[in-house]
Structure 1
Amino acid sequence: MIWLRPEQAPVGRPAERSRREITAAAVELADREGLDAVSMRRLAATLGTGAASLYRYVATRDDLLDLMTDSTAREYRLSAPSGDWQADLLEIAHQARQIMRRHPWLPVLVVTRPVLGPHGIDLLEHLLDVLADHPADPAHKLEAFAVLNALTALFVQNELAASDPSSQRRSSYLRHVAAAGTHPRIAAMVAAAQPEHTSHDRFATVLARALTGVLG
């Protein structure tokens, strides 16, 4: 793993850059132009160096993506546990949601290639501290960590996609189907929808149910 390898080989020229500096530049590039824009060549141009020189610090683009994902966990502000495990986990999730919205490329990496680097380890330690007195076994607590991250990522992906015209077309078609009367259960579901519920409310409700189910 990238975190178990030294930042630079013990021989050769002294390091001119740090992994943290390179990672920060990659995150900024992805925030601005999307994940597809992040290549070793493009990143090198952003840093004003040659692509070959970056391989002295990061062996592959996959390593770079792992560094980027883990670096975002530095943005959490972790308070001491309050004694209310559900409230504390929801606070983590709300922060995760804000972080993922600041970095729109992040949810897809959380879902497709989850990593656990130094900053992610700090977050996991905090979650286990929150759940220290919970009777669930360690395996279920790890599952809760995974569920929190994955559900938050999926929720943010849906939020980001909601403004896309294709999403609006799907919603219009669903309303059309409901109005046609040929699918009564769908019609009942649409009729029962409560638009006054904000996405914040839905997020907290769904996540609380999932975490309670996992932890028992």
Structure 2
Amino acid sequence: MAARKEPVIWMRPEQAPVGRPAERSRAEITTAAVELADQEGIEAVSMRRVAAALGTGAASLYRYVATRDDLLDLMTDSTAAAYDLPAPSGDWQADLLEIARQAQRIMRRHPWLPTLVITRPALGPNGIDLLEHLLDVLADHPAEPARKLEAFALLNALTALSVQNESAATNPGAQRQSVYLRHVATAGTHPRIAALLAATSPDEAPDDQFATVLTRALTGVLG
């Protein structure tokens, strides 16, 4: 017999129907977990550590959140509450790029978030609002609904990767790799790499590069 799968946490009651009255809320627990991850990284987030931050025992948290995975989903979705979602302007590319710009700012505030967006994307109430907004922006676009959903996933993934790359670029290892690549280009044995680096504009801001790549990718998906 196949194992019974629990519904996503947003389809479950805030607290078990039996037991003592609720002393905490999911929102309060999620906030504590986000603050812990912001300060120490996502690896520091455990039921025990979050319970300690709230001044309670880990066992009591399980009355509100069944697993650490549930907690991670709550954390991811909570960050989507920070989006400002105005009415569509009529320029779908500009509107989607604005969503991506906001996503960059949110992910920069929460350095742990890009990894979760890529490895375990969660779609809770705030994420649903964001998806609805994107579909509203694309309401008059002739692309099939499935392509619009792909555009939503692509926007999130590319934005997360861009923020990860920003962080990696400051790593000494990445800087050494850049020096090595320039060394290879000047050695004369890899002319195509040399031509590529010569054609790359050092004056183009990373944000401008991101906008170009994202727009090209979304246009390709939506047709």
Q: Which category of TM-score, normalised to the shorter sequence, fits these structures?
A: over 0.9
SS in structure 1 of the partner of residue 203 of structure 2: coil
Letter in 2 for 1:141: K
Question: What's the CA shift for 1:74?
Answer: 0.2
**2:163 corresponds to which letter in structure 1?**
V
CA displacement, residues 98-140 of structure 1 (integer Å, 9 cap, x when unaligned): 1011100000111111111110000000000000000001000
Count of aligned residue pairs for this structure pair? 216
- Tell me which amino acid in the other structure corresponds to 2:36: L
Q: Deviations over 1:119-171 (max 9, x none)?
A: 00000000000000000010000000000000000111000111111111111
Looking at structure 2, the residues matched to 32 and 203 of structure 1 have their Cα atoms a distance apart, in angstroms, of: 27
Q: TM-score, normalised by structure 1?
A: 0.99
Q: What percentage of residue pairs aligned between the two structures are identical?
A: 80
Match for residue 48 of structure 2 among 32, 38, 41: 41
TM-score, length-normalised on structure 2?
Answer: 0.96
Q: What does 1:72-111 align with in structure 2 at a 5 Å threshold?
A: 72-111=79-118
CA distance in 2, matches of 1:169, 1:41: 39
Q: How far did 1:11 drift?
A: 1.2
> Match of 1:67, as an amino acid?
L
2:138 paired with 1:131: yes
Q: Which amino acid aligns with 1:61?
A: R
**Structure 1 residue runs without a partner (length 5+):** none
Residue 70 of structure 1 pairs with residue 77 of structure 2: yes
Alignment correspondent of 1:5: 12
Out of 137, 156, 162, the residue aligned to residue 163 of structure 2 is 156
Q: For residues 17 and 167 of structure 1, what CA distance do their matches in structure 2 show?
A: 44
1:188-207 equivalences in 2 (<5 Å): 188-207=195-214
**Where does residue 147 of structure 2 map in the other structure?**
140
Secondary structure, counterpart of 1:122 in structure 2: helix
Question: Match of 2:117, as an amino acid?
Answer: V
| RMSD, aligned α-carbons | 0.6
Give, in angstroms, the shift of residue 77 of structure 1: 0.4
Unaligned runs of at least 5 residues, structure 2 = 1-7
